[in-house]
Amino acid sequence: MTREEFIESNLGLVHTCANRFRNKGIEYEELYSAGCLGLVKAADGFDETLGFAFSTYAVPVILGEIKRLFREQGAVKVSRSVKEKSRLAVAAFEELRQNLEREPTVGELAEKLGTDEYEASQLINISAPALSLTDTDENGDRQLDIPVDSGEEEIGNSIALSQALSTLDERDRQLIILRYYRGLTQAVTAEKLSMTQVQVSRREKALLLDMRKKLTG
């Protein structure tokens, strides 16, 4: 496959990213054009020997070019109604944190708000610069933290993380889903996977290290 054919075969990534920014003050044609520039840069800079899918590398690059348009033309305006929803989301987040005595997962917040995980993360990120999706381990160390400074960044993180998860075998993928998407403890996760808590802890740390390398290159 030639360079041009490879780029053309991945134009769907540009549409996916550009569609997230429709009706936010910039014409879709401009968003798509900037995204295509990002796709070309990603195609030229991608190193397949790193062991992860092209889209994992390309999406943040495409989003970077699209976000450049907004930086050049000013910040994305947030409507009053969205700000009010964001305020309610923050209040719900704080209520959950007090009730659970830990930071709630995005899934738990979405369930309380009666919405999906994407919208929940968007609303919380309007008011908060970062949202931790993890609890601390036995040593008090963070095992995985994905800081986000905007809703657009969350899109890239979400897509990239999904791609990283897709590279894992079924057992390892279930371990990460149980721990970080369902918010289960290591003990409960170990029981569901017929493992010991020590085995879960060790495997979890190894998986997170590998996923960090794939996400950051």
Instruction: Quote the DSSP letter at residue 103.
Output: P
Nearest to 124 by CA among 81, 92, 156, 95: 92
> Using one digit for the tens of pLDDT, what is the confidence trace for 144-197?
333 334 444 444 455 556 666 777 888 998 888 888 777 778 888 899 999 999
Per-residue confidence at 65, pLDDT binned at 50, 70, 90?
confident
Per-residue confidence at 36, pLDDT binned at 50, 70, 90?
very high
What is the percentage of the chain residues whose pLDDT exceeds 70? 72
Helix (H, G, I), strand (E, B) or coil at 23: coil
Would you say 137 and 198 are in contact if contact means Cβ atoms under 8 Å apart? Answer: no
> Using one digit for the tens of pLDDT, what is the confidence trace for 126-141?
654 433 334 444 444 4
- Dihedral of CA atoms 146, 55, 200, 144 in degrees, nearest 10, equals -10
**pLDDT at res. 194:** 93
Which domains are delineated in the chain? 3-73 (1.20.120.1810), 80-127 (1.10.10), 151-216 (1.10.10.10)
Would you say 161 and 153 are in contact if contact means Cβ atoms under 8 Å apart? Answer: no
Bridge partners, 142 (sequence order): 136
> Using one digit for the tens of pLDDT, what is the confidence trace for 90-118?
888 888 888 888 877 877 888 888 887 76
- What does the alpha-carbon distance between residue 61 and residue 180 come to, in Å, rounded to a whole number? 25
Is residue 74 classed exposed, middle or buried when 0-12, 13-18 and 19+ CB atoms within 10 A define those classes?
exposed
Mutual angle of helices 117-127 and 151-166, in 10-degree steps: 140
Tokens representing 141?
């160390």
Q: What sign results for the dihedral spanned by CA atoms 155, 122, 28, 64?
A: negative
